[in-house]
Structure 1
Amino acid sequence: MTPTADSVMPPNAVPGHCYARLVIPEEYETQMQQVMVSPELSKLEVEPAKYEMVSEEVLVSEEWEELVVVPATYKTVTEEVLVKEASTKLVKLPAEYETVEEKIVIRPAYSTWKKGNGPIEKIDEATGEIMC
């Protein structure tokens, strides 16, 4: 193969510097190596199967939580509220009272999942149960 002008020039040559191209012959050395000629052999023995009765616990279903919707609970509370203080004028008037009823939230409404049994309720893909 004949070298081209680009292949004999050193890469990144600096102008004004001289370069020499050297041919260095290969060097050989004799070394000893251990090479596997054949792998070790294994002997195959057939042993008959052994059976025994064993009792063990197997996890059938993971633990899970169920959310239950419990509606809010209300109760009616009746109390007397002082509307006007008793006062004294030329004419003596007794105090006036009126009865007021109000609803108080004892526990707010919340949602939960319960097992269902109707055809329009959602089927849980993981367990196959009908949930609503």
Structure 2
Amino acid sequence: MPVSFVDSNVLLYLTSGDAAKANRAESVVAAGGAISVQVLNEVANVARRKMHMQWAEVRAMLALLRGLLDVHPLTVETHDAALAIAERYGLSTYDAMIVASALLCGCDTLWSEDMQNGLIIEGRLRIVDPFVAAG
């Protein structure tokens, strides 16, 4: 069964003051899916640096995400695939790492606010902005 992959920018809206975006992000997560260790790292970085969360709060949020979504490791295979994707599609290295992780875990949808909505990667992974899709 195809699986969705969730980018860090969508997960960060779970704690947003924007109720509509927080609710949409919650719906995406509630449907299940996958993330990578990179996504956890990005969430932790933004939570500390921009949201000024305490370490205990960051750990609690990460534990919640790890309990709700399947977490996939970063590997050399992911790195190599991402470099090829970055070159082919003109994505940043970090966005390409997210895309490569999604492809390697067999996902057909990548929920991301930061990448081109509707872009299809390798003929099998569609990038969907959940906030545009929600109207």
Shorter-chain TM-score tier:
under 0.3
Higher helix share: 2
Higher strand share: 1
Q: Which has the larger radius of gyration?
A: 1
Normalized against structure 2, the TM-score is what?
0.13
Work out which structure has the larger RCO, using CA pairs closer than 8 Å and 6 or more positions apart in sequence. 2
Normalized against structure 1, the TM-score is what?
0.13
